[in-house]
Amino acid sequence: MRTFVYTANPARVIFGSGTIASLGDEAARLDAQRVLVLSTPEQKELAEHIAANLGERAAGTFAGATMHTPVQVTQEAMTVASDLKADAVLSVGGGSTTGLGKAIAFRTDLPQIVVPTTYAGSEATPILGETENGRKTTKSDPRILPEVIVYDVDLTLTLPVSLSVTSGINAMAHAVEALYATEANPVISLMARDGIAALARALPTIHADPQDRQARGDALYGAWICGVCLGSVGMALHHKLCHTLGGMFNLPHAPMHTAVLPHAVAYNAAAAPEAMQQLSLALGVPDPAIGLFDLARNLRATMALRDLGMPENGIEAAVSQAMSNAYANPRPLESQALADLLTRAFRGEAPAGS
Protein backbone atom coordinates (compact mmCIF):
# COMPACT_ATOMS: atom_id res chain seq x y z
CA MET A 1 0.00 0.00 0.00
CA ARG A 2 1.27 3.44 -0.93
CA THR A 3 0.82 6.35 1.46
CA PHE A 4 0.15 9.73 -0.10
CA VAL A 5 -1.62 13.06 0.27
CA TYR A 6 -3.68 14.53 -2.58
CA THR A 7 -4.95 18.12 -2.51
CA ALA A 8 -7.03 19.44 -5.42
CA ASN A 9 -6.82 23.12 -6.33
CA PRO A 10 -10.15 24.81 -7.07
CA ALA A 11 -10.53 25.97 -10.66
CA ARG A 12 -13.09 26.84 -13.30
CA VAL A 13 -11.98 25.91 -16.82
CA ILE A 14 -13.75 26.73 -20.08
CA PHE A 15 -12.20 24.82 -22.98
CA GLY A 16 -13.08 24.83 -26.66
CA SER A 17 -13.28 26.96 -29.79
CA GLY A 18 -14.58 30.53 -29.73
CA THR A 19 -14.71 30.48 -25.93
CA ILE A 20 -13.42 34.04 -25.52
CA ALA A 21 -17.00 35.05 -26.28
CA SER A 22 -17.76 33.91 -22.71
CA LEU A 23 -15.39 36.42 -21.05
CA GLY A 24 -18.12 38.94 -20.29
CA ASP A 25 -20.21 36.25 -18.60
CA GLU A 26 -17.20 35.06 -16.61
CA ALA A 27 -16.47 38.59 -15.44
CA ALA A 28 -20.11 38.89 -14.38
CA ARG A 29 -19.85 35.63 -12.42
CA LEU A 30 -16.98 37.19 -10.49
CA ASP A 31 -19.01 40.39 -10.07
CA ALA A 32 -16.13 42.26 -11.71
CA GLN A 33 -17.12 45.73 -12.88
CA ARG A 34 -13.67 47.16 -13.75
CA VAL A 35 -11.43 44.55 -15.38
CA LEU A 36 -7.82 45.46 -16.19
CA VAL A 37 -6.68 43.50 -19.28
CA LEU A 38 -2.98 42.56 -19.24
CA SER A 39 -0.68 41.55 -22.10
CA THR A 40 2.82 41.82 -23.46
CA PRO A 41 3.58 44.65 -25.91
CA GLU A 42 3.37 42.13 -28.76
CA GLN A 43 -0.22 41.19 -27.86
CA LYS A 44 -1.48 44.67 -27.13
CA GLU A 45 -3.91 44.54 -30.05
CA LEU A 46 -5.51 41.33 -28.77
CA ALA A 47 -5.79 42.82 -25.28
CA GLU A 48 -7.51 45.91 -26.67
CA HIS A 49 -9.87 43.72 -28.69
CA ILE A 50 -10.84 41.77 -25.58
CA ALA A 51 -11.26 44.99 -23.59
CA ALA A 52 -13.55 46.37 -26.29
CA ASN A 53 -15.67 43.20 -26.16
CA LEU A 54 -15.95 43.50 -22.38
CA GLY A 55 -17.52 46.91 -22.91
CA GLU A 56 -18.34 48.76 -19.70
CA ARG A 57 -16.73 46.03 -17.61
CA ALA A 58 -13.27 46.91 -18.99
CA ALA A 59 -11.29 49.42 -16.93
CA GLY A 60 -8.41 49.57 -19.42
CA THR A 61 -5.30 47.71 -20.56
CA PHE A 62 -1.67 47.33 -19.48
CA ALA A 63 0.58 45.93 -22.23
CA GLY A 64 3.89 45.84 -20.36
CA ALA A 65 4.20 42.21 -19.23
CA THR A 66 7.61 40.64 -19.78
CA MET A 67 9.25 37.29 -19.10
CA HIS A 68 10.39 36.20 -15.64
CA THR A 69 7.95 38.69 -14.04
CA PRO A 70 10.29 41.49 -12.94
CA VAL A 71 9.12 43.13 -9.70
CA GLN A 72 9.58 46.55 -11.27
CA VAL A 73 7.04 45.79 -14.01
CA THR A 74 4.60 44.48 -11.40
CA GLN A 75 4.91 47.76 -9.51
CA GLU A 76 4.13 49.70 -12.69
CA ALA A 77 1.07 47.55 -13.36
CA MET A 78 -0.06 47.91 -9.75
CA THR A 79 -0.03 51.69 -10.15
CA VAL A 80 -2.20 51.42 -13.26
CA ALA A 81 -4.58 49.01 -11.52
CA SER A 82 -4.92 51.41 -8.60
CA ASP A 83 -5.43 54.47 -10.79
CA LEU A 84 -8.13 52.67 -12.79
CA LYS A 85 -9.75 51.24 -9.63
CA ALA A 86 -9.58 47.75 -11.14
CA ASP A 87 -11.49 45.04 -9.30
CA ALA A 88 -10.21 42.12 -11.42
CA VAL A 89 -7.40 41.31 -13.84
CA LEU A 90 -7.66 39.45 -17.12
CA SER A 91 -4.35 38.08 -18.45
CA VAL A 92 -4.20 37.25 -22.14
CA GLY A 93 -1.04 35.65 -23.53
CA GLY A 94 1.63 33.26 -22.31
CA GLY A 95 3.47 32.74 -19.06
CA SER A 96 4.80 36.30 -18.93
CA THR A 97 1.34 37.84 -18.80
CA THR A 98 -0.05 35.14 -16.55
CA GLY A 99 2.84 35.78 -14.17
CA LEU A 100 2.06 39.49 -14.04
CA GLY A 101 -1.59 38.82 -13.27
CA LYS A 102 -0.58 36.44 -10.49
CA ALA A 103 1.85 38.96 -9.05
CA ILE A 104 -0.90 41.58 -8.88
CA ALA A 105 -3.37 39.11 -7.38
CA PHE A 106 -0.85 38.01 -4.75
CA ARG A 107 -0.49 41.60 -3.59
CA THR A 108 -4.14 42.64 -3.88
CA ASP A 109 -6.20 39.42 -3.86
CA LEU A 110 -8.01 40.65 -6.99
CA PRO A 111 -9.74 37.81 -8.89
CA GLN A 112 -8.08 36.63 -12.09
CA ILE A 113 -9.28 35.43 -15.47
CA VAL A 114 -6.59 33.97 -17.73
CA VAL A 115 -6.78 33.47 -21.51
CA PRO A 116 -3.69 31.45 -22.52
CA THR A 117 -2.36 31.81 -26.05
CA THR A 118 0.64 29.49 -25.53
CA TYR A 119 1.17 26.14 -23.83
CA ALA A 120 2.74 27.60 -20.68
CA GLY A 121 0.44 25.79 -18.25
CA SER A 122 1.29 28.19 -15.41
CA GLU A 123 -2.27 29.48 -15.42
CA ALA A 124 -3.30 26.28 -13.64
CA THR A 125 -0.94 26.73 -10.69
CA PRO A 126 -0.88 28.71 -7.42
CA ILE A 127 2.85 29.32 -8.02
CA LEU A 128 4.47 32.67 -8.80
CA GLY A 129 8.05 33.19 -9.93
CA GLU A 130 9.41 36.76 -9.72
CA THR A 131 12.76 38.27 -10.65
CA GLU A 132 14.58 41.01 -8.77
CA ASN A 133 18.28 41.89 -8.71
CA GLY A 134 19.29 38.96 -10.89
CA ARG A 135 17.57 36.32 -8.78
CA LYS A 136 14.30 34.52 -9.50
CA THR A 137 12.34 33.32 -6.49
CA THR A 138 9.09 31.40 -6.26
CA LYS A 139 6.20 31.36 -3.83
CA SER A 140 2.93 29.48 -3.56
CA ASP A 141 -0.26 30.94 -2.15
CA PRO A 142 -4.02 30.45 -2.73
CA ARG A 143 -4.27 34.10 -3.85
CA ILE A 144 -1.99 33.30 -6.79
CA LEU A 145 -4.28 30.66 -8.33
CA PRO A 146 -6.51 32.17 -11.06
CA GLU A 147 -10.24 31.82 -10.52
CA VAL A 148 -11.08 31.19 -14.19
CA ILE A 149 -9.14 29.88 -17.21
CA VAL A 150 -10.64 30.30 -20.66
CA TYR A 151 -8.89 28.09 -23.22
CA ASP A 152 -9.70 29.03 -26.82
CA VAL A 153 -7.97 26.82 -29.35
CA ASP A 154 -8.56 29.47 -32.03
CA LEU A 155 -6.04 31.77 -30.32
CA THR A 156 -3.26 29.19 -30.69
CA LEU A 157 -3.59 28.68 -34.44
CA THR A 158 -1.23 31.57 -35.15
CA LEU A 159 1.29 30.64 -32.46
CA PRO A 160 4.60 30.29 -34.35
CA VAL A 161 5.76 26.71 -34.74
CA SER A 162 9.07 27.34 -32.96
CA LEU A 163 7.29 28.78 -29.92
CA SER A 164 4.66 26.05 -30.06
CA VAL A 165 7.43 23.46 -29.74
CA THR A 166 9.33 25.07 -26.87
CA SER A 167 6.17 26.18 -25.08
CA GLY A 168 4.85 22.62 -25.30
CA ILE A 169 8.04 21.05 -23.97
CA ASN A 170 8.11 23.63 -21.19
CA ALA A 171 4.63 22.41 -20.26
CA MET A 172 5.84 18.80 -20.35
CA ALA A 173 8.51 19.72 -17.80
CA HIS A 174 5.76 20.48 -15.27
CA ALA A 175 4.41 16.95 -15.52
CA VAL A 176 7.82 15.27 -15.79
CA GLU A 177 8.86 16.61 -12.39
CA ALA A 178 5.44 15.81 -10.93
CA LEU A 179 6.23 12.11 -11.49
CA TYR A 180 9.10 12.20 -9.01
CA ALA A 181 8.21 15.17 -6.80
CA THR A 182 8.16 14.64 -3.05
CA GLU A 183 4.37 15.07 -3.02
CA ALA A 184 3.77 12.75 -6.01
CA ASN A 185 0.56 10.75 -5.81
CA PRO A 186 -1.37 8.35 -8.07
CA VAL A 187 -3.93 10.90 -9.26
CA ILE A 188 -1.34 13.44 -10.37
CA SER A 189 0.81 10.72 -11.94
CA LEU A 190 -2.15 9.65 -14.08
CA MET A 191 -2.66 13.23 -15.19
CA ALA A 192 1.07 13.69 -15.81
CA ARG A 193 1.26 10.70 -18.14
CA ASP A 194 -1.82 11.85 -20.04
CA GLY A 195 -0.54 15.42 -20.41
CA ILE A 196 2.92 14.35 -21.54
CA ALA A 197 1.47 11.89 -24.04
CA ALA A 198 -0.94 14.51 -25.45
CA LEU A 199 1.89 16.98 -26.06
CA ALA A 200 4.28 14.36 -27.44
CA ARG A 201 1.56 13.36 -29.88
CA ALA A 202 0.57 16.90 -30.83
CA LEU A 203 3.86 18.75 -31.28
CA PRO A 204 5.18 16.81 -34.32
CA THR A 205 1.81 17.25 -36.03
CA ILE A 206 1.80 21.00 -35.31
CA HIS A 207 5.35 21.20 -36.67
CA ALA A 208 4.14 19.58 -39.91
CA ASP A 209 0.81 21.42 -40.08
CA PRO A 210 0.36 24.43 -37.77
CA GLN A 211 -3.33 24.68 -38.70
CA ASP A 212 -4.21 21.16 -37.52
CA ARG A 213 -6.98 21.98 -35.04
CA GLN A 214 -7.02 18.53 -33.44
CA ALA A 215 -3.32 18.74 -32.67
CA ARG A 216 -3.68 22.31 -31.40
CA GLY A 217 -6.48 21.14 -29.13
CA ASP A 218 -4.43 18.20 -27.86
CA ALA A 219 -1.49 20.50 -27.10
CA LEU A 220 -3.64 23.02 -25.24
CA TYR A 221 -5.31 20.22 -23.27
CA GLY A 222 -1.91 18.72 -22.46
CA ALA A 223 -0.58 22.07 -21.31
CA TRP A 224 -3.52 22.49 -18.94
CA ILE A 225 -3.13 19.00 -17.46
CA CYS A 226 0.62 19.46 -17.05
CA GLY A 227 0.01 22.79 -15.34
CA VAL A 228 -2.39 21.15 -12.92
CA CYS A 229 0.37 18.67 -12.08
CA LEU A 230 2.84 21.44 -11.31
CA GLY A 231 0.28 23.24 -9.18
CA SER A 232 -0.52 20.15 -7.14
CA VAL A 233 2.94 18.84 -6.23
CA GLY A 234 6.37 20.34 -5.76
CA MET A 235 9.20 21.21 -8.14
CA ALA A 236 12.65 19.66 -8.35
CA LEU A 237 16.02 20.11 -10.07
CA HIS A 238 14.78 21.11 -13.50
CA HIS A 239 12.78 24.08 -12.26
CA LYS A 240 15.50 25.11 -9.83
CA LEU A 241 18.03 25.24 -12.67
CA CYS A 242 15.68 27.14 -14.96
CA HIS A 243 14.73 29.64 -12.27
CA THR A 244 18.42 30.17 -11.62
CA LEU A 245 19.35 30.61 -15.29
CA GLY A 246 16.34 32.79 -16.03
CA GLY A 247 17.01 35.10 -13.13
CA MET A 248 20.77 35.37 -13.68
CA PHE A 249 20.94 35.62 -17.47
CA ASN A 250 17.38 36.54 -18.56
CA LEU A 251 17.30 33.61 -20.98
CA PRO A 252 14.11 33.08 -23.03
CA HIS A 253 11.81 31.08 -20.79
CA ALA A 254 10.37 28.25 -22.90
CA PRO A 255 13.51 27.62 -25.04
CA MET A 256 15.61 27.47 -21.86
CA HIS A 257 13.28 24.88 -20.30
CA THR A 258 13.43 22.89 -23.52
CA ALA A 259 17.23 22.82 -23.55
CA VAL A 260 17.57 21.89 -19.86
CA LEU A 261 14.81 19.28 -19.42
CA PRO A 262 16.52 16.24 -21.00
CA HIS A 263 19.61 16.81 -18.86
CA ALA A 264 17.62 17.14 -15.64
CA VAL A 265 15.82 13.90 -16.45
CA ALA A 266 19.12 12.13 -17.10
CA TYR A 267 20.50 13.44 -13.80
CA ASN A 268 17.57 11.92 -11.88
CA ALA A 269 17.09 8.74 -13.93
CA ALA A 270 18.84 6.26 -11.61
CA ALA A 271 17.28 7.78 -8.49
CA ALA A 272 13.68 7.69 -9.78
CA PRO A 273 13.24 4.42 -11.74
CA GLU A 274 9.45 4.24 -11.33
CA ALA A 275 9.02 7.78 -12.62
CA MET A 276 11.32 7.00 -15.57
CA GLN A 277 9.22 3.96 -16.43
CA GLN A 278 6.06 6.06 -16.45
CA LEU A 279 7.77 8.74 -18.52
CA SER A 280 8.97 6.15 -21.02
CA LEU A 281 5.40 4.89 -21.41
CA ALA A 282 4.06 8.41 -21.90
CA LEU A 283 6.69 9.25 -24.52
CA GLY A 284 6.76 5.81 -26.15
CA VAL A 285 10.57 5.57 -25.93
CA PRO A 286 12.96 3.37 -23.91
CA ASP A 287 15.17 6.23 -22.66
CA PRO A 288 13.10 9.27 -21.61
CA ALA A 289 16.06 11.67 -21.43
CA ILE A 290 17.14 10.85 -24.97
CA GLY A 291 13.50 10.74 -26.07
CA LEU A 292 12.94 14.30 -24.89
CA PHE A 293 16.21 15.48 -26.43
CA ASP A 294 15.43 13.88 -29.79
CA LEU A 295 11.85 15.16 -29.77
CA ALA A 296 13.01 18.74 -29.27
CA ARG A 297 15.95 18.51 -31.66
CA ASN A 298 13.88 16.88 -34.42
CA LEU A 299 11.39 19.74 -34.09
CA ARG A 300 14.25 22.21 -34.62
CA ALA A 301 14.39 23.56 -31.06
CA THR A 302 17.60 25.27 -29.98
CA MET A 303 19.32 22.84 -27.62
CA ALA A 304 22.44 24.82 -26.68
CA LEU A 305 22.16 27.34 -23.85
CA ARG A 306 25.00 29.34 -25.39
CA ASP A 307 22.77 29.95 -28.41
CA LEU A 308 20.12 31.33 -26.05
CA GLY A 309 22.50 33.89 -24.57
CA MET A 310 24.10 32.13 -21.61
CA PRO A 311 27.78 33.02 -21.05
CA GLU A 312 30.13 30.07 -20.55
CA ASN A 313 31.73 31.72 -17.56
CA GLY A 314 28.31 31.73 -15.90
CA ILE A 315 28.21 27.97 -15.29
CA GLU A 316 30.07 28.05 -11.98
CA ALA A 317 27.95 30.89 -10.61
CA ALA A 318 24.75 29.16 -11.74
CA VAL A 319 25.76 25.95 -9.96
CA SER A 320 26.49 27.88 -6.78
CA GLN A 321 23.11 29.62 -6.83
CA ALA A 322 21.25 26.40 -7.71
CA MET A 323 22.87 24.62 -4.78
CA SER A 324 21.64 27.29 -2.38
CA ASN A 325 18.07 26.86 -1.14
CA ALA A 326 17.72 23.80 -3.39
CA TYR A 327 14.35 22.23 -4.17
CA ALA A 328 13.73 18.65 -3.03
CA ASN A 329 15.09 16.24 -5.65
CA PRO A 330 15.35 12.45 -6.01
CA ARG A 331 19.13 12.63 -6.39
CA PRO A 332 21.12 14.89 -4.08
CA LEU A 333 22.59 17.94 -5.77
CA GLU A 334 26.31 17.56 -6.39
CA SER A 335 28.25 20.57 -7.61
CA GLN A 336 30.50 18.77 -10.08
CA ALA A 337 27.63 16.74 -11.52
CA LEU A 338 25.56 19.92 -11.94
CA ALA A 339 28.51 21.65 -13.61
CA ASP A 340 28.78 18.71 -16.03
CA LEU A 341 25.01 18.87 -16.66
CA LEU A 342 25.08 22.59 -17.44
CA THR A 343 28.19 22.21 -19.60
CA ARG A 344 26.42 19.63 -21.77
CA ALA A 345 23.32 21.83 -21.96
CA PHE A 346 25.47 24.86 -22.72
CA ARG A 347 27.03 23.05 -25.69
CA GLY A 348 23.79 21.45 -26.87
CA GLU A 349 25.11 17.92 -26.38
CA ALA A 350 22.94 14.87 -25.73
CA PRO A 351 22.21 14.06 -22.07
CA ALA A 352 24.81 12.19 -20.06
CA GLY A 353 24.56 8.40 -20.00
CA SER A 354 23.19 8.19 -23.54
pLDDT band at 245 (very low <50, low <70, confident <90, very high): very high
Tell me what percent of the residues of the chain surpass a pLDDT of 70.
Answer: 99
Whether residue 246 has pLDDT greater than 60: yes
pLDDT one-digit tens code per residue, 269-293: 999 999 999 999 999 999 999 999 9
pLDDT band at 134 (very low <50, low <70, confident <90, very high): confident
Are 153 and 217 a contacting pair, CB within 8 Å?
Answer: yes
pLDDT band at 8 (very low <50, low <70, confident <90, very high): confident
Residues 73 and 345: their CA atoms lie apart, in Å, by 30
What's at 319, amino acid-wise? Answer: V
Are 317 and 298 a contacting pair, CB within 8 Å?
Answer: no
Q: What's the distance, CA 247 to chain centroid?
A: 15
pLDDT one-digit tens code per residue, 159-172: 999 999 999 999 99
pLDDT band at 234 (very low <50, low <70, confident <90, very high): confident
Tally of residues, the chain: 354
Strand extents, DSSP E, the chain: 12-16, 35-38, 58-62, 88-93, 112-116, 127-132, 135-140, 148-152
Q: What is the pLDDT of residue 340?
A: 97
Residues 235 and 250: their CA atoms lie apart, in Å, by 20
Q: Where in the chain is CATH 3.40.50.1970?
A: 12-156
Residues 31 and 248: their CA atoms lie apart, in Å, by 40
Strand extents, DSSP E, 146-274: 148-152
Q: What is the pLDDT of residue 106?
A: 97
Q: What is the pLDDT of residue 282?
A: 97
Residues 19 and 152: their CA atoms lie apart, in Å, by 5
pLDDT one-digit tens code per residue, 75-97: 999 999 999 999 999 999 999 99
Tell me what percent of the residues of the chain surpass a pLDDT of 90.
Answer: 90
Average per-residue pLDDT for the chain: 95
Q: Where in the chain is CATH 1.20.1090.10?
A: 161-347
CATH number of 161-347: 1.20.1090.10
Residues 54 and 60: their CA atoms lie apart, in Å, by 10
Whether residue 3 has pLDDT greater than 90: no
pLDDT mean over 336-341: 97
Class of domain 12-156: alpha beta
Q: What is the pLDDT of residue 34?
A: 98
pLDDT band at 37 (very low <50, low <70, confident <90, very high): very high
What's at 75, amino acid-wise? Answer: Q
Are 91 and 67 a contacting pair, CB within 8 Å?
Answer: no
Whether residue 203 has pLDDT greater than 70: yes
pLDDT band at 9 (very low <50, low <70, confident <90, very high): confident
